[in-house]
Amino acid sequence: MSGQDWQDKLKSALKMDRRSFLKTTAVGSAAIAAGGLTLKPKEAQAFAYEPYPRDNDLTTVVTSCAHNCGSRHMLVAHKKGDVIVRLSTDDGRYQKGGEFGKDTFEEPQLRACLRGRSYRSRLYSQERLLYPMVRTGARGEGKFKRASWDAALDHVAGKMEELKSKYGPTALLDQSYAGASYGVLHKSDQIEGLLGRFLGMYGCRTSSWSVPSYEGTKFSSRITFGTIEDGNEDDTFAHAKLIIMWGWNPAYTFHGGNTFYYMRMAKQQGCKFVLVDPQYTDSASAYDAWWIPIRPNTDAAMMAGMVHHIFANNWQDQNFINKFTQGMDAGTMPDWAKDKENFRDYIFGKYDNTPKTPEWAAEICGVSADDIKKLAQLYATTKPAALKASWAPGRNAYGEQYNRMAAALQAMTGNIGILGGCAEGIGKAWHAEGVAYPYDEFANVFYESIKSDRWAHCVLNYPNVKREDIGLWPGGKAGDGVIPDIRGIFWQGSDWFNQLTNINKEIKAINKLDLVVCNDSTITPSGLYADVLLPVATHFERHDVALPWYKGHYYIHRPKVIEPLGESKTDFQIYTELAYRLGGEQFGKRYNPKANRDYFQHDDAVDNAYLQEWWEHKVMAHQHVEMSWEEFQKRGVYKFKLDRPHVAFQDNVEKGVPWPTASGKIEIFSGQLAQYDDWTKTAYGHEIPAIPKWIVPWEYLGDKEKTVKHPFHLISPHPRHRTHSIFNNVGWLRETYSQEVTINASDAKKLGIKTGDTVEVFNDRGKVVVPAYVTERCMPGVLVLHEGAWLDLDENGIDRSGNPDMLTLDEPSPAGSFAYNTVLANVQKTDLAHKPGWDQLSTARSHVFRRDL
Amino acid sequence: MANETLDKAKVKEAVQRRKKETYTPVIPVQQFGFVHNNVDCIGCRACEIACKDKNGLAPGPRFRRVMYVEGGTYPDVYAYKVNMSCNHCAEPACLPTCPTGAIFKRVKDGIVDIDSSLCIGCRRCEAACPFGAPQFIPDQNIVSKCNMCVDEIDAGRKPYCVQACMMRVLDIGPIDQLRAGTYPTKAVAPHEKVVRQVKSMANPELTNPSIVFVPHSKGIVEDKGAK
Ligand code: SF4
Ligand code: SF4
Ligand code: SF4
């Protein structure tokens, strides 16, 4: 549209508007009425300053956000030429049968969160990587020079050959993760990722098996239910009469496109809410929840107290227990294990003379026995009730015990398999067709596999490492029990250097490596420690389809909205080209069967072919979809309408379908765990009891000795303004929320700390500098520091950004959960400087006000 | 830094004209206004970021501001959010203070906007507004603010912030209908009543702002009633 058209349109749009400055000071409006005016008022106009492009004048392209937040929302790009001018989101127009404003219970709009809405700032950021770069300074120093693709890839390929031949098939560590994932084609992931398949086929890969977010929870779901598909779709929350948010903050972390909104509907229907959490979160306030503050890492104890109270009052659903569970009590133990411990007898103290009464639990968890009883009664007598046992309390020492204890509560109250109840856990619900690239026998080949947070330990202590110290997965192709000789790391969709535990130990370890390669679209702290930076096209610059994460039943088309910036390429292009360089036609073609060598320059047709095949042979063939690939691309979104609300285990309960466990039951007593004799030969390395138990964590507020020096328990939940470390460089988000340590008001008073004061938080592992946020909303003795701030070390190795992983311990729980929330620390005022970001942007908080303190 | 695109002659002319004028309030055909549910808002600020992206603002100026309020003593605490941009007041305090007449109110829907080609960055409106709506844009030396996304309204849609709201607790509508509770909106649940003022907010008598809230129980002030 030409400038003139635009102005005409503007004029007609505003034609009702008359500026109302009347003209004479002397006679005022009377004179107008008399028609005595000569000077015609100049009209002020909206957008008069520039040809402001309106949405209707721009090209509209439907796409989605792309990171590992747990959800997946629509983004709509409004572009002019090859530039995205602004982003909007789902407004009901794009789906089949859609219209502006359509937003129904079955097909709600998929409205993006603040991170998605800020995406232009990340896309066009100063930290964007545009060219391959090769390190020239020391690791971490941040000195790089630009290289050609040819030179960079030759360097990587040469080093790979050298390391593989010298150190064998375990020399390269795969640290791909979900940071750039949740497309069906351009995947970064530990198991389904492009990197894993590339390194596995190449014949040199140590993989990382434990998932930082939820390994304890995953273990619990697998052991108890035999599956991680223990989740309901988010609309089912609207049917609950009671929702217990256990360490769950759906105002910050989203699973499913609209969980928080369906919960608002539940509230309007009279649903009651409870929050068990050391913080009074925004979820608590929005749902007007009863807040039960709890000491971190003591959840399993409180739950045991609840179980005791429910059994003691005979409120359990014994019918459900008898029919569907194994080992909840003596009567449900399998015949072969009658002599083993059962759950009910454990709770009543038969084996250790310690009945797990509410009073016993109160001592440990800091919640009064009365409140424990009250909650137990509320949960046992309200139906349907959703106890949502979130992942966060599972990111602890023995975090798996918390999730297993929660599953026992869910089962004993009969809240599994019913609408409005909840068996989560992991919470994976509707099954999406997830993989469009060749997922075959090469997809997840590994030569050894370790607990993801033990790589530094392994590198630093090699070869004096015991397999149980690193959680070696049995059956590696290099030979079971071989300690991997890690000499190089590959990062893809992963800023793990910044995100794994005990960063100071990682820094020592990384300096021993011979090759560190980082694929990313921006430079990150991990990138600073890499030898080669390969610039990766963002999801706006490559063709893909977005699928929701663990909940949500829809697909969003993700076309190449704009051409890749600079010289960036997709991960798939990079690994394909590397495959050709390392193994010629044979490896290249095997790795990417639909492509030829020119894929590095021309990827459109090949990517489309993979996606179309996926749509037609998986989505259309398996999921009763009739919409053609062409139409899907045109609309941009496909929303499924389900025949009935998706409730996990509904058929198991209603139709007697067995659970996918060995016994076919919900295994409170795990037959599998009861039968291990040598734990060192398992991936866990250390014993895990066959029934859920309270196990004392290695650091917590109940530890009288350790709390002398470090009297605070530090937890590091997800921030709302970052997806882990992604988006930390976005100024809009950093002015909206800042990295700060939350501290209870009475604790702060004792230490002379006020909101905004700069403090240092420290323990024997490290020290960080951050501003303090003093509040009554946090439990005394607890500090909260959100994960994901970008490491920014001063000359003494003190982190000025406030990254909590300077303080976490790289000691995973037996089941593999990262113990991110098992940290004792101390805090004090400081003269050291905090830096909110790598650039000089100051963080404005001018409009946050906190009254009434 | 100066506003480089400023046409000085044009501004001078506007100032001359302005001096000759008295201001008679615009009575719009229909006054649009905002509604925000202080309790159900999760404080996610998707609305804020959508606004910043729409208006191309750098970090600093914030047309829309989701303000966090909290109180009580551990463990008996409460929190809520008050979300405000410009209230497109019936009697805007900003408008008459403008020396160049850059601020105007649309008759059609009562939207108050600033013509930035006439703004000299004197920041008088910023000082006059009781709600902190006008935002100084340092690199352009102008003041700018929410214009209720007039372009979207004229295109038959709703503002970016409203369309962004994840919880569907922010909306616009004819303010008299919003006040009367007759306008269908997801922002207000069936049993809820709206108010013109909440605690810590400037007196609505000052400018008669076009906004209503579903208040938190701790945010209720004596409602002086709509005029
Ligand atoms: S809120 Fe402030 S800027 Fe907006 S119309 Fe009212 S007085 Fe003017
Ligand atoms: S109406 Fe538009 S300009 Fe005003 S606050 Fe909302 S998004 Fe910003
Ligand atoms: S988008 Fe909605 S829920 Fe989020 S802060 Fe704004 S008004 Fe509140």
Give the closest ligand to the alpha carbon of residue A112: 3
Q: What is the Å distance from ligand 3's center to A847 Cα?
A: 15
Scanning A23-52 for CB atoms below 8 A from B yields 23-25, 28-29, 39, 41-50, 52
Query: Residues A846, A722, B86, CA angle at the centre, nearest 5°?
Result: 35
The residue behind tokens 């409730």 is A647
By Cβ distance, the residue of B13, B79, B107 closest to A777 is B79
Burial label for A4, CB within 10 Å (0-12, 13-18, 19+), is exposed
Q: Which residues on chain A are in Cβ contact (under 8 Å) with B51?
A: none
Task: Decide if B72 and A41 are in contact by the 8 Å CB cutoff.
Answer: no
Q: Which residues on chain B are in Cβ contact (under 8 Å) with A777?
A: 70, 74, 77, 79
What is d(CA B86, CA A616) in angstroms, rounded to the nearest whole number? 50
Rounded to a whole number, what is the distance in Å from the CA of B23 to chain A's nearest CA? 5
Rounded to a whole number, what is the distance in Å from the CA of A733 to chain B's nearest CA? 8
Q: What is the Å distance from ligand 1's center to A128 Cα?
A: 38
B12 is a domain residue: yes
What pLDDT score was predicted for residue B3? 60
A335 is a domain residue: no
Structure tokens at B183: 């306008």
What pLDDT score was predicted for residue A45? 82
Q: Which residues on chain A are in Cβ contact (under 8 Å) with B132?
A: 847
Rounded to a whole number, what is the distance in Å from the CA of B157 to chain A's nearest CA? 8
What pLDDT score was predicted for residue B14? 83
Q: Which residues on chain B are in Cβ contact (under 8 Å) with A28?
A: 22, 24
Helices (H) and strands (E) in chain A, counts: 29, 27
Rounded to a whole number, what is the distance in Å from the CA of A677 to chain B's nearest CA? 46
A468 is a domain residue: yes
Q: What is the ipTM of this complex?
A: 0.92
Same domain flag for A809 and A743: yes
What pLDDT score was predicted for residue A811? 96
pLDDT in tens, A255-299: 889 999 999 999 999 999 999 999 999 999 999 999 999 999 999
What global pTM score does this model have?
0.93
Residues of chain A with pLDDT under 70: 1-42, 49-51, 839-853
By Cβ distance, the residue of A86, A734, A775 closest to B54 is A86
Task: Decide if B40 and A120 are in contact by the 8 Å CB cutoff.
Answer: no
Give the DSSP letter of residue B58. P
Give the DSSP letter of residue A619. I
- Is A261 at the interface with chain B, CB within 8 A? yes
A128 is a domain residue: no
Ligand 2 shell residues, CB under 6 Å:
B 50-51, 54-55, 63-64, 85, 146-149, 159-161
Same domain flag for A251 and A111: no
Task: Decide if A844 and B59 are in contact by the 8 Å CB cutoff.
Answer: yes
B57 is a domain residue: yes
Q: What is the Å distance from ligand 2's center to A97 Cα?
A: 28
Residues near A463 by beta carbon (within 8 Å), at least 6 away in sequence: A483, A485
The phi, psi pair for B205, rounded to 5°, reads: -60, -25
> Of all helices (H) and strands (E), which one includes residue A399?
helix A399-412
CA A430, A436, A439, A440 torsion: positive or negative? positive
What is d(CA B60, CA A115) in angstroms, rounded to the nearest whole number? 17
Residue B134 Cβ inside 6 Å of ligand 1? The answer reads: yes
The total number of structural domains in chain A stands at: 4
The domain that holds A492 is classified in CATH as 3.40.50.740
B101 is a domain residue: yes
Task: Decide if B166 and A42 are in contact by the 8 Å CB cutoff.
Answer: no
What is the helix, strand, coil percentage profile of chain A, to 5? Answer: 30, 15, 50
What pLDDT score was predicted for residue B226? 44
- Is A83 at the interface with chain B, CB within 8 A? no
Range of the domain at A804: 706-842
CB A557 within 8 A of CB A177: no
Same domain flag for A411 and A448: no
Which atom of ligand 3 is least distant from the CA of B48?
6
A316 is a domain residue: yes
A623 is a domain residue: no
The domain that holds A227 is classified in CATH as 3.40.228.10
What pLDDT score was predicted for residue A16? 26
- The residue of chain A nearest to residue B29, with distances taken between CA atoms, is A16
B93 is a domain residue: yes
The residue behind tokens 């000052």 is B206
A16 is a domain residue: yes
What pLDDT score was predicted for residue A10? 36
Work out the average pLDDT over B127-149: 94
A360 is a domain residue: no
The domain that holds A761 is classified in CATH as 2.40.40.20
Q: Which residues on chain B are in Cβ contact (under 8 Å) with A29?
A: 22, 24
Same domain flag for A200 and A231: no
In A293-343, beta strands by DSSP E: 325-326
Same domain flag for A397 and A292: yes
Task: Decide if B46 and A111 are in contact by the 8 Å CB cutoff.
Answer: yes
CA A288, A290, A291, A295 torsion: positive or negative? negative
Residue B86 Cβ inside 6 Å of ligand 1? The answer reads: yes
Rounded to a whole number, what is the distance in Å from the CA of B102 to chain A's nearest CA? 6
Same domain flag for A799 and A830: yes
* Nearest by Cα to A716 from A809, A624, A845, A623: A809
Same domain flag for A527 and A588: yes
Strands B32-37 and B211-214: parallel
Q: Which residues on chain B are in Cβ contact (under 8 Å) with A11?
A: none
A166 is a domain residue: yes
Range of the domain at B179: 8-219
Work out the average pLDDT over B101-109: 95
Work out the average pLDDT over B210-218: 97
The total number of structural domains in chain B stands at: 1
- Is A72 at the interface with chain B, CB within 8 A? no
Residue B46 Cβ inside 6 Å of ligand 3? The answer reads: yes
Q: Whose CA is nearest to atom 3 of ligand 2?
A: B146
The domain that holds B215 is classified in CATH as 3.30.70.20
Rounded to a whole number, what is the distance in Å from the CA of B3 to chain A's nearest CA? 11
Work out the average pLDDT over B8-35: 85
- Is A21 at the interface with chain B, CB within 8 A? yes
B2 is a domain residue: no
Q: What is the Å distance from ligand 3's center to B46 Cα?
A: 6
* Nearest by Cα to B204 from B181, B187, B176, B225: B225
